[in-house]
């Protein structure tokens, strides 16, 4: 039977997390410049005690198994928690599930050596360091077939050369996990590999660190990196040679669901602000809420948020059921396609209801609109995921031979008359 209820014990955890994020975490955004900067003493003084409280509650890094200090929660439970954490950009760090560290931790847990786990994984899980996932290339965009960053074996080392773009937090990271071509003579899905690269590796240079729109030019944390004869030991190849895409899809599949549920939190935040404004603002002798155009914005937004949330939860449930991201590829892609559009639409409506104040820097809507566009590009652009959805859907359908489609009414009528001809003749004979 279908059941949309959450078990009482976990609901109590969610209720605690909701109050904790609202009262303890959200205010930090106004006093900590960068939640990823572990060298900031103020950040450490404020964040570490909160992380300790999350651990005591048993909600630290719940995406990881008990052997790594987590709860091993499935995707549905993670989705419900992330729906709360998404209210604050700082909350995932307080709960030990921030990107890209959460995905990088999973890679290290599965493919790292014992020494690599000691040096990088344990401090990463403890929140003492941050990491970087270095995949996108400036000329490649969303097409990995254009990747040019290469690794060549040389004795007991790999030598890496090339460039990467939008490697977030590389300037603050202790290490990077980079996707690099190791065999250019085969399809990229068989020729790409993953490497663990220490940040201090000789030849690794950050050319510049672009920011997002609205940030001052030259100030940001999405690095443009050059790898120039960067040497790493053989064992820094994570997984087998040519398994880069397999590893990447494993980490990205769950990550897209987490992004989606955090987006639900942002949608609800914008929606709540829109409703509050509609019930507060006086115009033409009445509240904004009395105007049908505003009512339409509220109705459309509520319906779209609920539809999107159910799509995400169903996809999370399918991942838990099959435990195979390939079987849920279509659903994950559908979530990715839907996410930026609903994010944009709900936020834009909320912005308009707030008028001039809505477009000012005194409300979060401008940043949220930019975040919606980021969600349409990060982890693969919307257009690519639409193609994936279409291809996966078409596998469950087939064409027809002949001139007329299967829904052709004259053909269906003729077939029905032929099937029931004896009854029709009998009826005519009785007239």
Indicate whether 334 pLDDT > 90: yes
Q: Is 326 in a helix, a strand, or coil?
A: helix
Indicate whether 237 pLDDT > 80: yes
* Total-model pTM: 0.91
Average pLDDT over residues 194-214: 95
Question: What's the pLDDT score for residue 379?
Answer: 83
DSSP code of residue 99 = T
**Sequence-separated (6 or more) residues with CB below 8 Å from residue 279:** 287, 288, 289
Question: What's the pLDDT score for residue 106?
Answer: 86
C-beta separation of 243 from 370 below 8 A:
no
131-241: CATH architecture: Beta Barrel (2.40)
Question: What's the pLDDT score for residue 431?
Answer: 62
User: Higher model confidence: residue 171 or residue 141?
Assistant: 171
C-beta separation of 232 from 157 below 8 A:
yes
Percent of the chain at pLDDT > 90 equals 81
- Rounded to 5, what percent of the chain is helix, strand, coil? 55, 15, 30
Encode pLDDT of 113-134 as tens digits: 999 999 999 999 888 999 999 9
Domain ranges of the chain: 8-98, 131-241, 245-394
CATH number of 245-394: 1.20.140.10
Indicate whether 252 pLDDT > 70: no
Encode pLDDT of 267-326 as tens digits: 999 999 999 999 999 998 899 999 999 999 999 999 999 999 999 999 999 999 998 888
Average pLDDT over residues 171-184: 97
Angle at 35 between CA 354 and CA 110, to 5 degrees: 120
Instruction: Tell me how far apart the alpha carbons of residues 57 and 55 are, in angstroms, rounded to a whole number.
Output: 5
CATH number of 8-98: 1.10.540.10
Average pLDDT over residues 14-33: 97
**Sequence-separated (6 or more) residues with CB below 8 Å from residue 389:** 330, 333, 334, 337
At residue 104 the predicted structure's pLDDT band, cuts being 50, 70 and 90, is very high
Question: What's the pLDDT score for residue 383?
Answer: 94
Fold agreement between 8-98 and 131-241: no
Whole-angstrom CA distances from 51 to 75, 79, 114, 219, 405 are 22, 20, 26, 28, 61
């Amino acid at each position: 039977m279908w059941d949309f209820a959450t078990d009482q014990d976990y609901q109590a955890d969610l209720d605690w997390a909701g109050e904790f994020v609202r009262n303890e975490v959200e205010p930090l955004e106004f006093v900590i410049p960068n939640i990823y900067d572990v060298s900031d003493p103020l950040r450490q003084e404020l964040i570490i005690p909160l992380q300790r409280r999350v651990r005591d509650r048993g909600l630290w890094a719940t995406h990881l198994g008990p052997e790594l200090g987590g709860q091993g929660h499935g995707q549905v439970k993670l989705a419900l928690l992330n729906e709360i954490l998404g209210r604050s950009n700082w909350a995932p760090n307080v709960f030990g599930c921030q990107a890209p560290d959460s995905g990088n931790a999973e890679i290290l847990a599965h493919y790292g050596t014992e020494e690599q786990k000691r040096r990088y994984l344990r401090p990463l899980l403890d929140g003492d360091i941050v990491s970087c996932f270095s995949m996108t290339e400036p000329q490649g965009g969303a097409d990995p077939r254009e990747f040019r960053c290469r690794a060549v074996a040389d004795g007991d080392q790999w030598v890496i050369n090339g460039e990467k773009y939008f490697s977030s937090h590389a300037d603050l990271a202790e290490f990077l996990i980079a996707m690099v071509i190791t065999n250019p003579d085969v399809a990229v899905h068989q020729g790409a590999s993953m490497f663990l690269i220490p940040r201090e590796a000789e030849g690794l240079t950050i050319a510049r660190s672009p920011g997002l729109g609205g940030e001052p030019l030259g100030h940001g944390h999405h690095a443009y990196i050059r790898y120039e004869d960067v040497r790493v030991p053989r064992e820094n190849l994570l997984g087998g040679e040519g398994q880069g895409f397999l590893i990447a899809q494993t980490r990205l599949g769950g990550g897209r669901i987490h992004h989606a549920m955090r987006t639900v939190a942002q949608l609800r935040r914008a929606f709540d602000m829109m409703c509050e404004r509609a019930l507060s603002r006086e115009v033409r002798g009445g509240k904004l809420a009395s105007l049908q155009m505003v009512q339409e914005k509220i109705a459309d937004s509520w319906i779209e948020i609920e539809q999107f949330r159910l799509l995400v939860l169903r996809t999370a449930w399918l991942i838990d059921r099959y435990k195979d991201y390939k079987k849920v590829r279509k659903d994950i892609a559908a979530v990715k396609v839907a996410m930026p559009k609903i994010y944009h639409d709900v936020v834009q409506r909320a912005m308009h209801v707030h008028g001039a104040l809505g477009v000012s820097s005194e409300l979060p809507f401008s940043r949220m609109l930019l975040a919606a566009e980021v969600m349409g590009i990060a982890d693969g652009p919307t257009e690519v995921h639409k193609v994936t959805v279409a291809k996966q859907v078409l596998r469950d359908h087939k064409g027809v031979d002949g001139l007329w489609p299967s829904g052709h009414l004259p053909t269906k009528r003729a077939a029905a008359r032929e099937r029931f001809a004896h009854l029709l003749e009998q009826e005519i004979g009785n007239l």
